[in-house]
Amino acid sequence: MNKTIGYFLVGVPLFLGSCGTEAQPAEESMDAVEQEMEEGPDVEAQAGEKNGAADAPEARSGEASPLLAKGEKTSFAFNKAGEFPIHCEPHPDMQMTVIVEEGADISGEGAVEIAGFAFAEKSLTIAPGTVITWTNQDDVKHNVAFD
């Protein structure tokens, strides 16, 4: 028997056998896709994808968001009491301060618009554990950077 044909006769059943074992996960993932199409996307995951609040990183000195195009959002969680000076890296004249203190009126979630080369708030006092989401309304890219 020719060696090439022998390898083919041995290799094909092994290959086909391995394909059969991979079909199971593919069917399971298709079931999950069909179920999501029927039920709609997970609301909590969808909210996190829209504004990043669900997975907001903790606000820390030296941290910065990526540059945000018009309509894009970024979020940070403020878990520790204190003052957080903030600026835009490409436009350092854009500044604001987030003050985190117990008993503040704003808790849970808050929002700040970025428009006209400025943060809508010069100062914002919030309770610990609050997530702030910034939305860029300018045609120019901005970011949120912590001093």
- Tens of pLDDT, residue by residue over 83-100, are 999 999 999 999 999 999
CB 123 within 8 A of CB 96: yes
More confident residue, 2 or 118: 118
Alpha carbon of residue 94 to chain centroid: 23
Say whether pLDDT at 16 is over 90.
Answer: no
Residue 67 is predicted with a pLDDT of 98
d(CA 119, CA 147): 15
Burial class (CB in 10 A: 0-12, 13-18, 19+), 108: exposed
More confident residue, 3 or 59: 59
Say whether pLDDT at 78 is over 90.
Answer: yes
Residue 55 is predicted with a pLDDT of 84
- Most confident range (mean pLDDT) of 7-21, 32-46, 118-132 is 118-132
More confident residue, 95 or 52: 95
- Is residue 27 very low, low, confident or very high in pLDDT (cuts 50, 70, 90)? very low
The β-bridge relationship of strands 73-78 and 145-146 is unpaired
Residue position matching structure tokens 């996960």: 25
Say whether pLDDT at 8 is over 80.
Answer: no
